[in-house]
Amino acid sequence: MPKKRILSGMRPTGKLHIGHYVGALENWIKLQNDYESFHLIADYHVLTTGLETEDIYQNSIDMVIDWLAAGLDPEKSPFFRQSQIKEHTELFLIFSMLITTARLERNPTLKEQVRDLNIENVIYGHLGYPVLQSADILLYKGDAVPVGEDQVPHVEITREIARRFNNQYGNVFPEPDALLTKFARLPGLDGDAKMSKSLGNTILLSDDAETVKQKLRKAVTDPQKVRRNDPGRPEVCLVFTYHKKFNSGEIPEIEANCKSGALGCVDCKLKCAAKMNEWLAPIIDKRKHYEANLSEVKQILSDGEAKGRKVAQATMNEVREKMKLG
């Protein structure tokens, strides 16, 4: 029985942070052994929130390096840039005829982005972001999409578009399911519910040990725990959330000592930084290899684009045939 297929991707905005890993990469790495995987560098999507393009290529390379360093295998999971496979835009155009603006305006993820980025006037391309995402997924006939919880509404739009196309022209596309990671969202250092480069509250996968330590020193904790001996509330402390991910073995002890006041916030942060740096060390080592061998990275990208293009062309031939476009 052939493996089911997944398509997942990220916008190339530069080096990735631990929130990207926890919310997406960790899941992708696990899934690549069980699914036929395709991984998209969504460079056209960058234009939905800004028209500057000079950094997109370098940001794409930086992101690919982080993918490789974290453990994605390009032999199992080809990587490719959206802009280099023209069928993405062709299918996006067709799909844009199958959904109303009112449906897109109800998208909660759009509302969240508009709020976080202080966008006054939403452009047509930003409103249609989920439609392009649907084209990205369905071009490769994705059966499932590994996403964080904030992207589930986009997967639902993809299912609706697939259904509408199939009903109108004949069966071509599956209706993909969302594959949620169990630890979908990591809070930012400032206590914000989401770690985001645009909010400046991240720890990068490429941060060295001293940088991680300094960043964690500034992380917000329980506002009621002012002094070391004050009893703390780990359930409201984001550093405790980081411990749960990167230092799970010591959770009972940290929780008890925080509540009793025996563990101060400074020491708690230092413990967390040490465990986080231990976890980051092999990723940083792999990153150094790829940074020193950029030709290898570019070849991986070129090979992935050739594989992706072959699948995309076959899908579009089927779409044109069903639509009787010749």
Cβ-based neighbours of 249, under 8 Å, separated by 6 or more:
none
pLDDT reading at 11 higher than 80: yes
| 217 and 254 inside one domain | yes
| 61 and 32 inside one domain | yes
Return the structure tokens found at 22. 């926890």
How far is residue 20's CA from residue 16's CA, in Å, rounded to a whole number? 6
- CA triplet 202, 207, 209: central angle to 5 degrees? 115
- Cβ neighbours, 10 Å, residue 120: 5
**Of 35 and 194, more confident:** 35
Note the pTM of the prediction, 2 decimals: 0.90
In a domain, 20, yes or no: yes
| 283 and 299 inside one domain | no
pLDDT reading at 165 higher than 70: yes
Lowest mean pLDDT among 18-27, 77-86, 130-139: 18-27
| 145 and 78 inside one domain | yes
Q: What is the CATH number of the domain that holds 268?
A: 1.10.240.10
In a domain, 202, yes or no: no
Q: What is the CATH number of the domain that holds 303?
A: 3.40.50.620
Average confidence (pLDDT) over 315-325: 97
| 81 and 111 inside one domain | yes
Which pLDDT tens digit goes with each residue over 242-288? 999 999 899 999 888 888 888 888 889 999 999 999 999 999 999 99
Burial bucket for residue 295 (CB in 10 Å: 0-12, 13-18, 19+): exposed
How many domains is the chain partitioned into structurally? 2
| pLDDT of the residue at 191 | 80
Q: Which residue carries 């476009």 as its tokens? A: 325
In a domain, 280, yes or no: yes
**Of 267 and 139, more confident:** 139
**Residue 118 structural domain:** 5-186+294-322
